[in-house]
A and B are shown apart, each in its own frame.
Chain A
């Protein structure tokens, strides 16, 4: 079991090449600016303290998937094509260790960046003497950690499957486009087909579930109770399960392809 060593090396790499600092700083800057905007709105009476997380969530709907995908899309395929994997697999490592270690290591980098940035945002709010909705922020963090996990896992799956970085980049952008935008129209489309190519009078119950299969839509459902809306509890739990499911399934599928192919 050498995956911990690889995970530590991934984190060490991100520190040594300053990727971790760059990512965390970018995130922190965005969240700090959002927090400053929020504080101004609160001061003017246009917003309540709880709206902070609305702003955060809006930013992370795009930021977290992009960061997760970019952080991991080349993780394995680049080492494979440049020969570092050859060196690594000459040591007593299993291919499973490579996938798991890379996954865990890169996720730690993403989580650290997320934590730092939320902390930076909260610090701005707190530092200017405003109330911080602690429970809401924590709930938001948890949901965002799940969103990051799902997208990072998808990128790991892609990175273990394709053979060139170009394909990894294409696949990653395709996945983002599909899951973040296109999927919003899929449930209605299916309902239309299910109703015999006619506009259904009422949306069937399952459209929301089909929608929630996309990590981005699952994330939005997950945020409903965090932000205080009344949401279907089953759907929320289903959404949480979807994020974790992506987190497990995508790397496993990638690993299956990875062990079966030549280096």
Chain B
């Protein structure tokens, strides 16, 4: 059974189309990264998953429950780290956990959860005095209450220092190993790349790609770049290289030849250069990074 299923979900705010028909399925047990620039509709989608926001049309299903009909049934089995929340100003960290545990009718220990997110030292301080990062850890601890089947994290690394980011990543991995489905949004590719099994890229309310990280890499590899330093004059071999299958561009740069080609054409390019009598001094392959792919997918988005 899929953990999260969205069917043709749209959301309009006045005449602004925040989501333009999202179809997306997150399988049970996977870590799903939801990527997109600011304002692409990531938070709107997550708000709809938790029924904070009503979709204009379409259906949203979490763990077999229709979110619109039974939001509480969804919230019972989902742990959420929302965006733009505030802690209760009269409560300490420990009291927050105690409240969340009671609300979820769970039997967790506040101490253990606070320890897990690295907040044990500040357990008895008022949450109103917490820093952004500490507030983020607190909400993560609250999300983990009751060992939820699905974790939804909206920009989880907001305000976290590098240690916090690493700990967040460890918790996501540990939860995945426990069988939890993790759905998290980010506008930073590196964070998604580090933990996600699959990625969806959202741009201006449209899904432009849903793929595994490897799948995305393959797409990227189609645009590899090979730089070959030659001892001789590059112009001599350039026409030969240009005629090869899989080569799209050939540029001369000082003593080097810069070849744009598919990944599997790289070796053939090198062989051909040597066969043409040129001496290869050095070579390097510059992969178009996922970052560039991400940028190319989301360029022009508003």
Residues of A participating in the B interface, judged by any CB pair closer than 8 Å: 2, 5, 9, 12-13, 16-17, 82-84, 86-87, 89-94, 260-263
Residue B229 CB within 8 A of the other chain:
no
Contact between A90 and B143, CB atoms less than 8 A apart: yes
Contact between A17 and B52, CB atoms less than 8 A apart: no
A220 to B254, CA, bound (A): 97
Contact between A2 and B75, CB atoms less than 8 A apart: no
Q: A residues within 8 A CB of B35?
A: none
Instruction: Indicate the size class of the contact surface on chain B.
Output: 20 to 34
Contact between B84 and A83, CB atoms less than 8 A apart: yes
Q: B residues within 8 A CB of A94?
A: 71-72
A17 to B86, CA, bound (A): 17
A65 to B76, CA, bound (A): 38
Interface flags, B248-291, vs A, CB<8A=1, else 0: 00000000000000000000000000000000000000000000
Residue B82 CB within 8 A of the other chain:
yes
Query: Which of A2, A5, A12, A89 is the one whose CB lies under 8 Å from B52?
Result: A89
A90 to B71, CA, bound (A): 10
Contact between B52 and A93, CB atoms less than 8 A apart: no
Can you name the residue of chain A whose Cβ is closest to the Cβ of B146? A92
A30 to B236, CA, bound (A): 101
Q: Which of B42-93 contact A (CB under 8 A)?
A: 47, 50-54, 71-72, 75-76, 79-80, 82, 84-91
Q: How far in angstroms is the closest Cβ of chain B from A71?
A: 15
Asked if A13 meets B142 with Cβ closer than 8 Å, knowing A91-B103, A92-B75, the reply is no
Residue B177 CB within 8 A of the other chain:
no
Known: A84-B87, A86-B86, A91-B75. 16 other contacts (CB 8 A): A5-B102, A9-B99, A12-B90, A13-B90, A83-B85, A84-B86, A84-B88, A87-B86, A89-B50, A90-B50, A90-B85, A92-B103, A92-B104, A94-B71, A263-B47, A263-B52
Residue B213 CB within 8 A of the other chain:
no
A87 to B105, CA, bound (A): 17
Q: Which of B156-188 contact A (CB under 8 A)?
A: none
Q: B residues within 8 A CB of A5?
A: 99, 102-103
Contact between A13 and B88, CB atoms less than 8 A apart: yes
A-B residue pairs, 3 tightest by C-beta: A16-B90, A83-B86, A90-B80
Residue B31 CB within 8 A of the other chain:
no
Query: Which of A82, A87, A92, A261 is the one whose CB lies under 8 Å from B139?
Result: A87
The contact sample of 28 A-B pairs, CB cut-off 8 A, is: A5-B99, A5-B102, A13-B90, A16-B91, A17-B90, A82-B86, A83-B82, A83-B85, A86-B82, A86-B85, A86-B86, A87-B139, A87-B142, A89-B50, A89-B52, A89-B75, A90-B50, A90-B80, A90-B82, A91-B100, A91-B103, A91-B142, A92-B76, A93-B75, A260-B54, A262-B47, A262-B53, A262-B54
Q: How far in angstroms is the closest Cβ of chain B from A63?
A: 25
Q: B residues within 8 A CB of A16?
A: 90-91
A263 to B84, CA, bound (A): 11
A2 to B89, CA, bound (A): 21
Can you name the residue of chain B whose Cβ is closest to the Cβ of A17? B90
Q: How far in angstroms is the closest Cβ of chain B from A243?
A: 31
Q: B residues within 8 A CB of A82?
A: 86
A9 to B100, CA, bound (A): 11
Can you name the residue of chain B whose Cβ is closest to the Cβ of A96? B72
Contact between B47 and A93, CB atoms less than 8 A apart: no
Q: B residues within 8 A CB of A90?
A: 50, 75, 79-80, 82, 85, 139, 142-143
Q: B residues within 8 A CB of A87?
A: 82, 85-88, 139, 142
Q: B residues within 8 A CB of A17?
A: 89-90
Q: How far in angstroms is the closest Cβ of chain B from A67?
A: 20
Q: A residues within 8 A CB of B86?
A: 82-84, 86-87
Can you name the residue of chain B whose Cβ is closest to the Cβ of A2? B103
A38 to B122, CA, bound (A): 53
Q: B residues within 8 A CB of A2?
A: 103
A83 to B88, CA, bound (A): 9
Q: How far in angstroms is the closest Cβ of chain A from B143?
A: 7
A93 to B198, CA, bound (A): 31
Q: A residues within 8 A CB of B99?
A: 5, 9, 91
Interface flags, B194-225, vs A, CB<8A=1, else 0: 00000000000000000000000000000000
Q: How far in angstroms is the closest Cβ of chain B from A97?
A: 8
Contact between B102 and A92, CB atoms less than 8 A apart: no
Q: Which of B109-162 contact A (CB under 8 A)?
A: 139, 142-143
Can you name the residue of chain B whose Cβ is closest to the Cβ of A262? B53
Q: B residues within 8 A CB of A93?
A: 72, 75, 103
Q: A residues within 8 A CB of B52?
A: 86, 89, 262-263
A260 to B105, CA, bound (A): 27
Name the residue among B54, B85, B104, B139 with the largest chain A CB count within 10 angstroms.
B85
A90 to B80, CA, bound (A): 6
Q: A residues within 8 A CB of B75?
A: 89-93
Can you name the residue of chain A whose Cβ is closest to the Cβ of B44? A262
Q: How far in angstroms is the closest Cβ of chain A from B5?
A: 20
A91 to B99, CA, bound (A): 10
Q: How far in angstroms is the closest Cβ of chain A from B67?
A: 12
